[in-house]
Amino acid sequence: MSVTHIKPMPHTLVLVLCVLFSILYGVWLLPHTVFIRHSCLVIGSLLSLPFIFFNWKIYIQRRAIPIALILLLLVWVSIHLWFIGVDYTMQYAEYTKIWKKIAISLPFALGLGIGLLSNSTDAAKTKIYWRILFIGFLSPTLIYLFKYWITLNAGRWGLALSPFLLRSNDINHPFGIHKVGYVFFCLPAVALAVGCLQNLIRSGSKNVLAYLIYLSVLPITLFNFQVEDTRNGFAYTLILVILGLFGLWLSKSRQFMLRKLTLTALLFVVISYVGYLGFKDDARWNTFVPDAKVAVQVDQFDHWKYCGAVPHGYPVNELGKTVTQSNYERIAWAVVALRLIRDNPLGYGVMDLSFAYLGKLQWPEAECLHQSHSAWLDFALGYGIPGVLLLLLAAILAWVYSKNTPQPWANIGRWGLGSMMLLLITTEISSEVFINALIFLIVLTSTLSLIFSQIKSGTNENTTQLSNEK
């Protein structure tokens, strides 16, 4: 494949973009941070535009397909607004608010990717960029720990805290944050830590501090999930750790056996800890399969319409026990959502609550339906099969192409983006900040995988990105 010359971005500008992303990622989840988020997005995009213009030829290659698919998604959403949507007023409000911000964020993602990529042959610079970005991915967990600590001790110290510092999971509280938000924004740091630990072992690194830093990410994030009592957090942490160990031992190399065994033992402790906290005395896990057998019978048992306000109580499973509400509703809603997608293949037209609107049209008595508990299903309900296919295919291709991206940037795609894609299967995170963050990471990951030839300043000598072609 022919390569395209790329104009390198100045080191200082790349540092600025990295810091802007870290700030953005840290506050993306926090309520009442719109000014900070918008400032980061707008400044990052404006700084990136000249380098996108100078390097536009780099996007004429197969690995830029995910970026093209995201642009097609924006076109599809526009077509949906004008010609397909059911509720134009609501859809137009979402279009001018949510999709406008997503569109504004794209140049920032492209520019950050170009900046990191064009300096990828400089190990010293890359190390600095990586540290800043990793702190950004870890910052939601660190902010949570600080808020937990200060909220716990404020009363003892007689302090009246600002609402910004209070930890609250009450979604009706002005500064409350739902637990699924923490899982979405905190899980990628766990995934990146697992990927980095894998790389340290494979490279034979003796950097003890690096091992300790990445290992420490797991317990502090699990503490967050434990306090918030989120099954998804425990389940996906367990999946990521198992995948990390599987990939480590799948390697044919017999080198560094002692380090492999040591890391495996430590991660086994993490797995045991996750299993103990997430599965102990939890009826939701113990009766999952019997509950599922009842939940899939959505025509015979319509209790899923009432969300806890069931007139005659919930049905009984094969064990003779009343089904667990959480298990029953999640599975039943998934089945109902699939039927609604079949009946409405072009979607309702809004990102977050199309399940509620379509459900209400078909079952007027279903007063309390909100989301299907699967972001992929919710997005399909909103923007139809074409919309979800464009987003899903862009994510999958970006993940696949990231395999040949230079390290440490490959980890952002293989582990960071990969963890988000997995989480969206069973989590109700189809609203603005989550989809915006997902699309940003898709575009960033795709840009980092591009093949290029770098033009050195002041000379005609070229250096090729060898890590991309082997």
- Encode pLDDT of 23-40 as tens digits: 999 999 888 889 999 999
**So what's the pLDDT on residue 353?**
82
Q: Is 129 in contact with 18 (CB distance < 8 Å)? A: yes
Are 427 and 232 spatial neighbours (Cβ–Cβ below 8 Å)?
Answer: yes
Query: Distance between CA 324 and CA 303 in Å, rounded?
Result: 12
Cβ atoms within 10 Å of 442's Cβ, excluding its own: 28
**What confidence score (pLDDT) does residue 18 get?**
97
* Strand ranges for 175-292 from DSSP E: none
Nearest C-alpha neighbor of 110 from the set 162, 51, 31, 157: 51
CB-based contact 410:403 (threshold 8 Å): yes
pTM: 0.89
Residues (pLDDT < 70) of the chain are 1-4, 161-174, 176, 249-260, 263, 271, 273-286, 308-312, 430, 452-470
| Other CB atoms within 10 A of residue 458 CB | 6
d(CA 368, CA 360): 9
Chain-centroid distance of CA 7 in Å reads: 30
- The H or E element that residue 272 is part of is helix 257-279
Exposure of 445 by Cβ count < 10 A (0-12 exposed, 13-18 middle, 19+ buried)? buried
Residue 464 DSSP symbol: E
* CA 352 vs CA 91, 97, 281, 382: distances in Å: 11, 13, 33, 7
Contact 417, 377 (CB under 8 A): no
Q: Residue 384 and residue 380: Cα distance in Å, rounded? A: 4
Give the pLDDT score at 43: 97
